[in-house]
Amino acid sequence: MIHPPDLLKGANMSPNVGRLDRLLRVIIAFMLFALFFLPGDSKWFGLIGFIPLLTVLGQRCPLYSLLGISTCGSKQPQAGKSS
């Protein structure tokens, strides 16, 4: 039997969504949420706005993980700057 902690053993859980990417995802989420308030059947497409919003809150995009993409800046210290 596979236990839940064993499933995450090899998973990379570091953030892969950068600041600009998060901002764009928030804008897209609210644009999709706006569809919910329009008349007709298209309003249910507004609920798709939860997907980019959840990736912003978690700072992780599952599709980026599968494709090996990260929009986060490098975490290397810059030369000439002291901590």
Each residue's pLDDT tens digit, 38-59: 888 888 888 899 999 999 999 9
Confidence of residue 80 (pLDDT cuts 50, 70, 90): low
Q: What is the pTM of this model?
A: 0.70
Tokens linked to 7: 């499933």
Q: Are 18 and 72 in contact (CB under 8 A)?
A: yes
Q: How far apart, in whole angstroms, are the C-alpha atoms of residue 1 and residue 64?
A: 29
Tokens linked to 36: 């919910």
CA distances from 57 to 23, 37, 45, 60 (A): 11, 23, 20, 8
